[in-house]
Structure 1
Amino acid sequence: MEQGSYSVGLDIGTTKIVAIIGRENEYGKIEVLGIGRSKSLGVHRGVVNNITQTIKSIQQAVEEAEANSGLKIASVVVGIAGQHIRSLQHSDYITRSDSEEVINEDDLDQLCNQVYKLVMLPGEEIIHVLPQEYKVDGQAEIKQPIGMYGGRLEANFHVVVGQVSSIKNVGRCIKSAGLDLGNITLEPLASSDAVLSQEEKEAGVALIDIGGGTTDLAIFKDGIIRHTAVIPFGGGVITEDIKEGCSIIEKQAELLKIKFGSAWPGENRDNEIVSIPGLRGREPKEITLKNLSKIIHARVVEIIEQVYVEIKNYGHEEQKKKLIAGIVLTGGGSQLKHLKQLVEYITGMDTRIGYPNEHLAGDSEEAIASPLYATAVGLLMNALKNQYKEKSVSQNIENEEEMAYAGHEPETVGATKVKKERKSVFDKWSEKLKDFLDNAE
């Protein structure tokens, strides 16, 4: 099977790296052909801090996915997160030279490119420029201004910013692992594609993706992304606290958290005890589950409160900005027992756990439908979407060329010819990054 008929998503996390190969079946669902995962060494809080280790982990995950599927991986879509990501709101406008002509895609491009020229802090670069609502000659709340008349075109933008060096390091790891970089996507956006429904995005929803090193937040309202944030804490700090609080090694702390951990201390009775084998013949340690859940509870409350501050910063308490669909929890950390109840208690918002199974074909392995793989499934969806776009663009161009060869004018839609799909600003940025990596030795 040639690479054209399947795509690959690569999730480079703090605790694990996942490569997932899939294709779209005839019902528009995603058929997972192979999955590979490896322990992530060399990534701290979502940022690569050891290139050699990260390359090795990527290669392991990719080889496992190739072995499972019997396919060869050439190009991947990668997620970016990490504590260096921040977002801001920005408004901008352009004055059109001819208000007698209708607004077209070139005007939107011009407006987006203008936002790109914003002066950032040293070492930072804009990753995503996401238009929210447009205004035409003062008329507000326009979602799609193409085809309208107007002299002044304004828009509010959600701008996502990241550190150039961190992004280039991810690109370098992909290239050194012998892969092509198909695209880079912000991880909270990928997770939201996998676990949120369009109705939730319309009603207003906050997606909280609790990973190993970071907790990602994406807020949607009226179908548009309104706020993103990356909080530099995740499941890893909970494990760290258990390790310190119970004086045990990390592996044991992680197992304790997964098997017996609970975010609600009232759940366990005082006489519930778990015994941990001692190191090298030392006495075993006895830990009460009540103490364990107290340690977990303290740290989880801290993470949720930080996320809730971000939700309040967005303006959830204003009537117009209310998030009616509440909160969706996903990521490995969302599997902690009684976390849903604790989040509801702290925020007072309806909460559910987000599983990426809605977009997967019925015969997919059960393991893949776990919140653990939400980002990887979202990245695979993004890769398939890009592939579909490229196909339709090349199809359009071929049709035009055939018509021109046969002596016909290409079909016109309104006053414009059928032309190449408009590249998003982010696609152009990805190309710039690829060029940089190709030239850098």
Structure 2
Amino acid sequence: MAVAALSPAKLNPGNLLKPRGERLVAALDVGTSKVAALIAIADGENPPRVIGAGVRACNGLRRGLVADMARTETAVRAAMDQAERAAGLEIESVLVNLSAGGLDSDVAPVEIDIAGHRIEDADVATLLAAGRARIEANDRLKGRTILHAEPTLYTIDGVDGVTNPRGFHANRLAVDIHVITADTPPCRNLDLAVRNAHLNVESIVAAGVASSLSILGQEERELGVAVVEIGAGVTTVAVHGGGMLLGLAAIPMGAADITADIATNFACARSAAERLKTLHGAATASPRDNHEMIEIPPLETDDSGESRRVAKAELIAVIRSRADLLFREVAQALGEMGFHGSAGRQVVLTGGGAELRGVADFAQGALARNVRLGRPRGLIGLPEAQSGAAFAALVGLIHYGATSRIDLARTPPRASSRAARGPETQPGRFARLFQQLKTQI
């Protein structure tokens, strides 16, 4: 795993043996409440085909961070064993997502002199090598783990929005590199928990990146959209615009806080509170909720405790109180990332917390934006049990691993002799778009 620096990617020899260009992609979503595993076959042309899946409850994490190594390792091993048995094979390396740990995003713009000749692969490699050097020299990133460093759109002599600059003639070639980093200790702990289960970590992927891949369409990315993933212990917010990821934030609050509030307010066990939330809970209220009664089981399971009955409206009031706190934090994060104006009207909710009844309507009122529920898509043979919003990040990891991409955090480019001319940097299209979104009203 790359820690506080960029390192070369490691090839998985098993993938090289797959016929017809097929290769295995294995993913692990290590979350606060569960560990989910998925194994798929990707051929680069058709949608990935799922051949194995597994899920196990996990109580080894707190707020998305590993707090109990042994329990996390046990859950990882059990979930992957279940998926391997279904697939009929053993997995050596996996993609893992990270939802906490001080996730942050930045832009590294870089530009080089082309001297009017036709742009070749060597020029692009020189440009990316300059970007890599710029990232490594950034003092703000020292001591942090670089999860992603992906080039976005290129700029040729001031003309931006170029997806592939090869073959053009130009004097100047530029690119903006989107860098996502995390605190190093949480990455190391997650890496260790997975490796203790005898699995190699191919890459750690930011949760907001993974979820977005499974629920967003390209047009949404172009117009501007925010993905709010409500996990058990952490809510991640990812802002997109102009077809690119513009910002990422993590909020230490999630669906488990609603469960804890129910348990506290009604003096019942957490397991009972989770059941009440699932069966009777909602984020929107109706007049009949005042007349419908629900049964609250006692905190103790012995004969001394007695069940009691309360109006369903009381349960919904507790849920709405926590939802209000959560979406205030979401609104603040969106504002800090410049998600407002005409480009900041669409929000997509996903994650296990998004499956609470009425939460999309509640969020629409709280955020004053259009809100829809995002469920994972784009895989063949995805089991029904893994097709809900709670598995958006897991499915997104498969998409991430099945798609060819340039990521300087894993694959350093080879610079040509033209690098001797030296890189020059200036704000590029990505940075300008980010600032534009920040200043829109």
TM-score bracket, shorter-length normalisation: 0.7 to 0.9
Report if aligned partners of 1:132, 1:224 keep a CA contact under 8 Å in 2.
yes
Match of 2:408 in 1: 425
Match of 1:201 in 2: 221
Q: CA deviation at 1:140?
A: 4.5
Residue of 304, 316, 334 corresponding to 2:327 = 304
Report if aligned partners of 2:151, 2:175 keep a CA contact under 8 Å in 1.
yes
Match of 1:396 in 2: none
Q: CA deviation at 1:155?
A: 4.0
Q: 2: CA distance between counterparts of 1:329 and 1:153?
A: 38
The 1:348–1:368 alpha-carbon spacing in structure 2 relative to 1, beyond 3 Å, is same
Q: CA deviation at 1:28?
A: 1.4
Any idea what SS the aligned residue of 1:128 has? Answer: strand
Report if aligned partners of 2:101, 2:187 keep a CA contact under 8 Å in 1.
no
Q: 2: CA distance between counterparts of 1:27 and 1:143?
A: 20
Greater Cα offset, 125-134 or 68-77:
125-134
Report if aligned partners of 1:86, 1:162 keep a CA contact under 8 Å in 2.
yes
Percent of aligned pairs with the same amino acid: 26
Is it true that 1:107 corresponds to 2:126 in the alignment? yes
Match of 1:437 in 2: none
Cα deviation 1:247-266 (Å, max 9, x = unaligned): 11111111111111111234
Is it true that 1:377 corresponds to 2:395 in the alignment? yes
Report if aligned partners of 1:340, 1:353 keep a CA contact under 8 Å in 2.
yes
Q: Please show how residues 132-281 of structure 1 align to structure 2 within 5 Å.
A: 132-266=152-286, 268-278=288-298, 279=300, 280-281=302-303
Greater Cα offset, 47-56 or 13-22:
47-56
The 1:257–1:141 alpha-carbon spacing in structure 2 relative to 1, beyond 3 Å, is same
Match of 1:289 in 2: 312
Any idea what SS the aligned residue of 1:22 has? Answer: strand
Q: CA deviation at 1:151?
A: 4.8
The 1:140–1:30 alpha-carbon spacing in structure 2 relative to 1, beyond 3 Å, is closer
Match of 1:328 in 2: 348
RMSD of aligned C-alpha atoms? Answer: 2.5
Report if aligned partners of 1:116, 1:126 keep a CA contact under 8 Å in 2.
no
Relative contact order: is structure 1 or structure 2 higher (C-alpha 8 Å, sep ≥ 6)?
2
Is it true that 1:37 corresponds to 2:60 in the alignment? no
Matched letter for residue 352 of structure 2: G
Q: CA deviation at 1:83?
A: 4.3
Report if aligned partners of 1:82, 1:214 keep a CA contact under 8 Å in 2.
yes
Q: 2: CA distance between counterparts of 1:268 and 1:234?
A: 28
The 1:27–1:306 alpha-carbon spacing in structure 2 relative to 1, beyond 3 Å, is same
- How high is the TM-score relative to the length of structure 2? 0.81
Cα deviation 1:176-211 (Å, max 9, x = unaligned): 111122222111111111111112112221111111
Is it true that 1:119 corresponds to 2:159 in the alignment? no
Count of aligned positions: 387
Report if aligned partners of 1:24, 1:384 keep a CA contact under 8 Å in 2.
yes
Residue of 60, 67, 71 corresponding to 1:53 = 71
Q: 2: CA distance between counterparts of 1:209 and 1:135?
A: 32
Cα deviation 1:274-330 (Å, max 9, x = unaligned): 1123221111132321111111111112212221222223323344xx145x11111
Matched letter for residue 303 of structure 1: L
Q: CA deviation at 1:72?
A: 1.6
Q: CA deviation at 1:141?
A: 4.7
Q: 1: CA distance between counterparts of 2:389 and 2:83?
A: 19
Any idea what SS the aligned residue of 2:198 has? Answer: coil
Task: Give the gaps of 5 or more residues in structure 1.
Answer: 390-421, 430-441
Cα deviation 1:370-401 (Å, max 9, x = unaligned): 1111111111222333xxx5xxxxxxxxxxxx
Q: CA deviation at 1:85?
A: 1.2
Q: 1: CA distance between counterparts of 2:394 and 2:114?
A: 45
The 1:265–1:250 alpha-carbon spacing in structure 2 relative to 1, beyond 3 Å, is same
- How high is the TM-score relative to the length of structure 1? 0.81
Q: 2: CA distance between counterparts of 1:68 and 1:263?
A: 37
The 1:307–1:108 alpha-carbon spacing in structure 2 relative to 1, beyond 3 Å, is farther
Residue of 75, 80, 97 corresponding to 1:62 = 80
Q: 2: CA distance between counterparts of 1:156 and 1:287?
A: 57
The 1:30–1:131 alpha-carbon spacing in structure 2 relative to 1, beyond 3 Å, is closer
Cα deviation 1:217-270 (Å, max 9, x = unaligned): 112112111111111111111111111111111111111111111112346532
